[in-house]
Amino acid sequence: MAKNEMLPGTLGMLVLRVLQPGALHGYAIAQRIHTLSNDLLQVEEGSLYPALQRMLIKGWVRAEWGISETNRKVRFYKLTAAGRKQLQSEMTDFGRVLQGIHAVLNKA
C-alpha cells in the first residue's frame, strides 16, 4: 500500500464524516479529506464517484444540483438520517479494529 492510500473499506466512512457538517460537491469532498488528513490521503475520482453512487443507492446521502464556488454546475451531496446512522456504526466498528491493532502492536 502506498503512503497516501486509504485502508480498504475506509473511503465510505471518511466521505460520510466530511459530509456530516453539511453538503459538499465531489471535488470538495476529495479536497476536504486531503486537507483534514494533513495532505496524507488522496481520493481519486475513479474511487470517489462510484462510492458516492453506492451511498445514493443505499440512501446514506442525497444529491442536488447546484453551482460551485467556481460557477460550475455540480452535484452537492448531503448526509441523510440513514447516513448519520451508518457513519456512527462504521466509526464504532473502526474504533474496535484500531483497538485490536494497537493491542497487538503493544503486546507483540
- How do the domains of the chain map onto residue ranges? 11-107
Helices (H), 1-108: 11-19, 26-36, 45-58, 81-107
**90 burial level (CB within 10 Å; 0-12, 13-18, 19+):** middle
Does the model's pTM come out above 0.75?
A: yes
Q: What average pLDDT does range 60-88 have in this prediction?
A: 96
Q: Fill in the amino acid letter for 10.
A: T
Q: At 63, is the pLDDT very low, low, confident or very high (cuts 50, 70, 90)?
A: very high
User: 465531489: which residue's cell?
Assistant: 26
| Mean pLDDT for the chain overall | 93
State which CATH number among 3.30.960.10, 1.10.10.10, 3.40.50.720, 1.10.1740.10 fits the domain covering 11-107. 1.10.10.10
**Average confidence (pLDDT) over 26-40:** 95
CB atoms within 10 A of CB 16: 23
The pLDDT-based confidence of 16 (bands split at 50, 70, 90) is very high
C-alpha cell at 73: 454546475
